Structure 1
Amino acid sequence: MDTSALDITFDVHGVCNYCSEFLVRSGHLLDQDDEERAARLSAFVDKVKADGAGKDYDCIVGVSGGVDSSWVLVKAIELGLRPLAVHMDNGWNSELAQNNIANLVKRLNVDLYTHVIEWGEYKSLMQAFFDSDVIDVELLYDNAMLAVNYKMAARYGVRHILSGSNQSSEGMAIPARWNWFKYDRKNIVSLARRSSVKIKTLPMLGTLGYVYSTYVRKVKWHSILDLMPYNKVSAMQSLKENFGYKPYPYKHYESIFTRFYQGYILPEKFSVDKRRVHFSTLIISGQMTRSAALSDLESIPYPSEKELIEDRQYFLKKMGWSESDLTGYLSRAPRDHVEFGTEIGFWKFCMSVYRAVLK
């Protein structure tokens, strides 16, 4: 981590606040006693099975084609759960990601629900985000994926959604200005309206939808990988050997847009290299050395210059942009999401009320 995270501070030992806060918040998860962790996992599995008794599925697993979510699906089957795999296609899936998902669900004999977003609408919404110069274009996908998972949980009466999120490979907090609040339906609607884009098919989830799903329907997200030993390298090796899995160079690069966004747009326009957060988490959890991370950061966040050029041309063609369109976009100053309408204040109010009620 470095000063590209604007609020970074360092203690007298040179340790930054992101690392120290991560250890305070999640150190106990990294150092769990094996027996205690196994007991917690067993109790959780029993709960999921009991809540899902008599239903078609007892849990939902959102799959992107990445290592974390793929491993969750594998472990769910090993634990005797009956998951429905849920995937969302926004038009940017790499062929590699599609093959990884297809191989996985076929060999595990798991049902897969794929929600395909209408490309014309999604393209227009992406353009609205680009025109506004806000940082988190991925808010569109992330929010819709949340909405689709909750929708499928409601359809089948499922109360448990198993997430690939985990502390050992992605537990460090993302700096505040590196992305945006993922439940901000109002921000999406406001940016769409600003560019005269009508939202007809995009699934969305806001604060009220989250409150209803979580506290009325009692649907919960679970980071199940925190209930078991999880080493990303070992998991990837197992996926390769048993499911024909083919890895990606960096986290979330299973999407063509995501790797172009993280590997090119974020560094060029916003001076953000998310590898710093991802690598730092792996270093703290003992899955990567600091020297290896520093060495990797000396190169561009892409497998090769050739693949960057290919993705750049693919992006321009798919979005209908010229080289000058891209140059003009990259040269404009970034703007804050909050300028265009947000419900983050309402979210904080609801969470404060909830905490007060708990007291």
Structure 2
Amino acid sequence: MKEYKICTSCVMDTTDSMITFDEYGVCDHCNTFLEDIKPNWYTDERGLDELKRTIEAIKKEGAGKDFDCIIGMSGGVDSSYLLYLAVEKLGLRPLVFHVDAGWNSQQAVNNIEVMVDKLNLDLFTEVIDWEEMKDLQRAFFKSGVPHVDTPQDHSFFATMYKFANKYKIKHILTGANYSTECIRNPKEWMYFQSDSIQIRDIHKKFGRRPIKNFPLTSILWHKIYLPYFKNIKVVTPLNNMPYIKQEAVELLKSKFGWQEYPQKHFESRFTRFYESYWLPEKFGYDVRKVQYASLILTGQMTREEALESLKAKPYDEENIHHDFEFVANKLDMSVEELRECFNAKNKTYKDYKNQESIYSLGAKLMRRLGLAKGGKR
């Protein structure tokens, strides 16, 4: 077994089995950020000038239309702040696009409603076929892989891409950002959610009903065909300006009555259960390490603060059994069935058909062309 070691700069450690350290004990995640992302990430006038040109192109393309772009809205801090920014600071006219996969927390519902209402925007909600979503999520639990959130995440971006293509919308704005996400989850923790080959294979082995309505996409369709043949662009404005998470939270709370979540991604009750309990307790993967490492590297948290926070469990120990029962019941599983999945042998994405080689080749090509930063493994 690999000797335990933790980075001397952030809080990533050997629970990431592929982690490496330099002679100073600094991990490869930190070095990738310092060598590849930070020198090429501009939040000063250079970034703002680039964003200004992009916004002008969006407005020109959207002239005379009901809206000039779409923004995927989860109710989380990044997408909520982006929506405020797009309307009040950038002068855009977005259609707010929400995908309901059946797991919205009441906080998320409230946050979406107050943002849309106070910004006087239109909200389009796509509801995923619940029977198919339920079947896929059960299949992923039974497969033994850690990335059981894949069906939900896949449905989010697949639905939005298909909507943009159908209605000829050329710009999709997302809240993705280096400021809070410069460290990526290790592939063994969260494999690529867009790998439809893996989704189909796991469904074939453990699913009960055919996939008819669930939105499936492919890496070639949304990474090659849509951007280069249909000219549909994904824009990440938060990367072109200073973005401090806590400042964004305070602004949203004071201006809109927005409600803060205990942890990133907790707008979904499924993701809350999966990230706070299932991953750390079954696999030993604590995604807070990734989230805190990003904040440490971008100066929003100290390493000491992160280490102190990591001492506490990521879930409520007194009430986790209620969450366990809730997830089991919602998926039409008995608590015993879900417990059997929890106790079963752990598997990885490599135990099922996958497109890892295509992703790796594509990532190398994108970095070589200067179209992507980081993600060296």
User: Is the structural similarity TM-score above 0.5?
Assistant: yes
Distance 2:340 2:149 in 1: 20
TM-score by length of 1: 0.93
* Inter-CA distance 335–203: structure 2 relative to 1 (3 Å threshold): same
| Partner AA of 2:81 in structure 1 | W
Distance 2:367 2:24 in 1: 35
Do the aligned partners of 1:207 and 1:343 also contact (CA within 8 Å) in 2?
no
Distance 2:198 2:130 in 1: 20
Note the C-alpha offset of 1:40.
Answer: 1.9
**Aligned match of 2:71 in 61, 73, 78?**
61
Counterpart check, 1:225 vs 2:238: yes
Counterpart check, 1:138 vs 2:149: yes
Distance 2:295 2:85 in 1: 21
| Partner AA of 2:146 in structure 1 | I
Partner of 2:228: 215
Do the aligned partners of 1:48 and 1:160 also contact (CA within 8 Å) in 2?
yes
Partner of 1:95: 106
Q: Which moved more, 1:101-110 or 1:330-339?
A: 330-339
Distance 1:101 1:94 in 2: 11
Alignment of 1:267-346 (within 5 A): 267-302=280-315, 304-346=316-358
Do the aligned partners of 1:55 and 1:157 also contact (CA within 8 Å) in 2?
no
Note the C-alpha offset of 1:321.
Answer: 3.1
Do the aligned partners of 2:44 and 2:240 also contact (CA within 8 Å) in 1?
no
| Partner AA of 1:244 in structure 2 | G
Q: CA RMSD in A?
A: 2.1
Q: Which moved more, 1:95-104 or 1:109-118?
A: 109-118
Partner deviation per Cα, 1:83-130 (whole Å, 9 max, x = no partner): 111111111111111110011111111111111112121111111111
Partner deviation per Cα, 1:312-351 (whole Å, 9 max, x = no partner): 2211221233333233212212212233222333455567
Partner of 1:49: 59
Secondary structure of 1:288's partner?
coil
Partner of 1:112: 123
Identity of aligned residues (%): 40
Partner deviation per Cα, 1:211-238 (whole Å, 9 max, x = no partner): 2212110112122101111000000000
Partner deviation per Cα, 1:57-102 (whole Å, 9 max, x = no partner): 2111111110001111111102111111111111111111111001
* Inter-CA distance 280–154: structure 2 relative to 1 (3 Å threshold): same
Note the C-alpha offset of 1:138.
Answer: 1.4
Distance 1:344 1:214 in 2: 21
Partner of 2:30: 19
Distance 1:187 1:69 in 2: 28
Partner deviation per Cα, 1:231-284 (whole Å, 9 max, x = no partner): 000000000011110011111011111010000000111110000000010011
Note the C-alpha offset of 1:182.
Answer: 2.4
* Inter-CA distance 349–295: structure 2 relative to 1 (3 Å threshold): closer
Do the aligned partners of 2:87 and 2:94 also contact (CA within 8 Å) in 1?
yes
Q: Which moved more, 1:147-156 or 1:110-119?
A: 147-156
Distance 1:147 1:319 in 2: 22
* Inter-CA distance 128–161: structure 2 relative to 1 (3 Å threshold): same
Alignment of 1:67-82 (within 5 A): 67-78=77-88, 79-82=90-93
Do the aligned partners of 1:56 and 1:156 also contact (CA within 8 Å) in 2?
no
Note the C-alpha offset of 1:352.
Answer: 7.0
Unmatched segments (≥5 aa) in structure 2 = 1-11, 371-377
| Partner AA of 1:220 in structure 2 | K
Do the aligned partners of 1:57 and 1:156 also contact (CA within 8 Å) in 2?
no
| Partner AA of 2:169 in structure 1 | V
| Partner AA of 1:55 in structure 2 | K
Note the C-alpha offset of 1:152.
Answer: 2.0
Distance 2:276 2:268 in 1: 12
TM-score by length of 2: 0.89
Structure (1/2) with the larger helix percentage: 1
